[in-house]
Structure 1
């Protein structure tokens, strides 16, 4: 059988349902949900660089090859950027010929899989609403699926992100427009809100999500020592005081020693 592209094999549309739960200590049950998964980016994931979250080079940003582009229902206009998902082949629905049973892989959301309204959602329009779908980096997908299969039904659950080192902040833009990319976030992985404070002020100023994991401020902060306050999508707030030293330049990245837990 010749290799098939990620979006080229017809499957039955599955709904967004819970198919089993695991219980974490002192926490609500973690639901396993159904979706489908395809792959893109090549055997070395080189074509997954960039993406709709704005992380740029995923190797140097620390995300590597275990990443995925999410369909619209999961991507949530960028609010899911940085979230982590454990994914496994759906043993009840998958053809064992194309599925690697008994294994799972954890990926980080780094990109958006756009809908293709020219194709039916069960035959090429895999990321059309309301489908939950993961277009995974090929090396991650091949942990759970056989390359020639192209697309497989999967089970998934959102899980805490485990990251090495602290949160990273990359600053770009110009005077009166500071665009900050927030990377390498552990725990929830995704950021709900962000504030900035400069060395010449005692007040926090709210920042707005510009796109993906990029947040902007319209104040003139050029060269000033900066602090950031982040609240993740699970409600945890962490302050990164004086993380950006005075005299910084656009294009620089600053790594903190703090991390979400």
Structure 2
């Protein structure tokens, strides 16, 4: 039987081997950087980024500010990526040094779709065409990593946990029997995989479906009722927001919870 020092040395050597393979000792692979390109839009104050394909509307009041981006179709995933966060840096190996700010990263939240433009080639104007991975970033965020005159730069990116202030927010929009609930300010995974609603006159959860972007549709009548929501994010974490919307709510109102994903 090996001595205690020998066994300890074996453990140390195994740890170094695993790290050398790019893995942690608990067998979890590290987060990898991927390559893409990035442009910018929305003006110096990002006012042109309001609205968008996720439905967050006013990004200032929704808590997203100017650190946002529109994703190309392959990244947007039909709205399933709304709310996800990405750390982005200029790719020093591929970028023109004149237009790259090396050693700097910026973290953005996905709030919009950068639609394809099939009338232009993928490498000359059709930046968001399939199958390109592309970020059309709010100008203030882009200028953290690139020089304005460059227009477009190659970047490295990785998806990261979202850090948000306060709890998850719910805005109810629509009319009559057509109700949409916009889910905003989601931390951790940032994006929602499934959503259920329970009304004050029921003891059962009713599934909701993604209508578009971060807008979830209910097939049950919600008008005038106190509402609870059950959300599962794309990492599998489930949080129940009990009675977060009071009875007598009105369309266009936003309700902030005290709970957040971790």
* 1:258 aligned partner: 259
Give 2:55's aligned residue: 54
Measure how far apart 1:178 and its partner are. Answer: 1.3
Partner of 1:185: 186
2:25 and 2:232 map into 1 onto residues whose CA distance is 24
Provide the residue aligned with 2:85 in structure 1.
84
Q: Distance in 2 between matches of 1:77 and 1:221?
A: 26
Paired position in structure 2 for 1:151: 152
Summarize the Cα distance change of 1:246–1:208 in structure 2 as closer, same or farther, 3 Å threshold. same
Counterpart Cα distance in 1 of 2:257 and 2:159:
25
Aligned to 1:214: 215
Q: After TM superposition, give the deviation of residue 176 of structure 1 in Å.
A: 2.2
What TM-score comes out, normalization by structure 1 length? 0.90
Whole-angstrom CA distance in 2 between matches of 1:41 and 1:62: 17
Q: CA deviation at 1:89?
A: 0.4
Residues 52 and 111, structure 1, Cα contact 8 Å, conserved in 2:
yes
Give the match for residue 224 of structure 1.
225
**Offset from partner CA, 1:53-110 (integer Å, 9 cap, x none):** 0000000000000000000000000000000000000011111100000000000000
1:50 partner SS: coil
The CA deviation at 1:34 is 0.1
1:218 deviation in Å? 2.3
Provide the rounded CA distance (Å) in 2 between the counterparts of 1:104 and 1:198. 43
Aligned 8 A contact 1:44 1:139 in 2: yes
**Cα shift at 1:247:** 1.2
Q: CA deviation at 1:129?
A: 0.4
Map 1:1-261; keep pairs closer than 5 Å.
27-261=28-262
Shift of 1:23: 7.0
SS of corresponding position for 1:234: coil
Structure whose residues are more often helix by fraction: 2
CA distance in 2, matches of 1:168, 1:252: 10
The runs of at least 4 aligned residues of structure 1 exceeding 2 Å deviation read 21-28
Which runs of 5 or more structure 2 residues have no equivalent in the other structure? 1-20
1:97–1:22 Cα change, 3 Å:
farther
Deviations 1:118-170, CA, capped at 9 Å, x for gaps = 01001110000000000000000000000000000000000000000000000
CA RMSD of aligned residues (A): 1.4
SS of the residue 1:76 aligns to? helix
| Paired residue total | 241
The question of whether the paired residues in 2 share the 8 Å contact of 1:22 and 1:31 is answered with no
